[in-house]
Amino acid sequence: MKIPLQVPSWNRMYRVHGSIVYKTAEAKQFQRDLSMLYVGKYHEGLVEMRIIIERNPIIDCDNAAKAICDSLQGRAYKTDRQIRKLSIEMLPCPKGKDTIDISVSELI
């Protein structure tokens, strides 16, 4: 399912103050938006996740995956510790046409 949403970069999602790392208002809004727009099954057991991000400009795949996995806790699965297989692909797109394509399925 393609979701018309841009994943924020790590430095827009988190702030560091001394030894404390906290989420920004933008991060919290992204998590609410993605959780609301995700229309998939809730999984009780182990899952595999496939993510394709079309974004302009490109950001780090691992940071984007973390933001997405955290956002779907309680919606696609109870905790992101249920994810045992993760595939992520980052593709360029025209500015303003960012999308996130997410597939979550039971691990077989």
What's the confidence (pLDDT) of residue 104? 97
pLDDT, tens digit, 9 for 90 and up, residues 55-102: 999 999 999 999 999 999 999 999 999 999 999 999 999 999 999 999
What's the confidence (pLDDT) of residue 108? 84
DSSP state of 74: T
DSSP 1-13: -EE--PPPPHHHH
Q: What is the DSSP pairing of strand 14-17 with strand 20-23?
A: antiparallel
Q: Taking every pair of C-alpha atoms in the chain, what is the biggest distance, in angstroms? A: 43
Domain 2-106 has CATH 3.40.50.261: no
Q: State the DSSP H helix or E strand holding residue 29, giving kind and residue range, or none if neither.
A: helix 25-37
pLDDT, tens digit, 9 for 90 and up, residues 21-32: 999 999 999 999
CA 98 to chain centre: 13
Please compute the mean of the pLDDT values over residues 38-60 and round it to a whole number: 96
Where exactly are the structural domains of the chain? 2-106
What's the confidence (pLDDT) of residue 11? 87
Q: Binning pLDDT at 50, 70 and 90, where does residue 10 land?
A: confident
What's the confidence (pLDDT) of residue 44? 97
Facing residues of 48 across strands? 85, 105
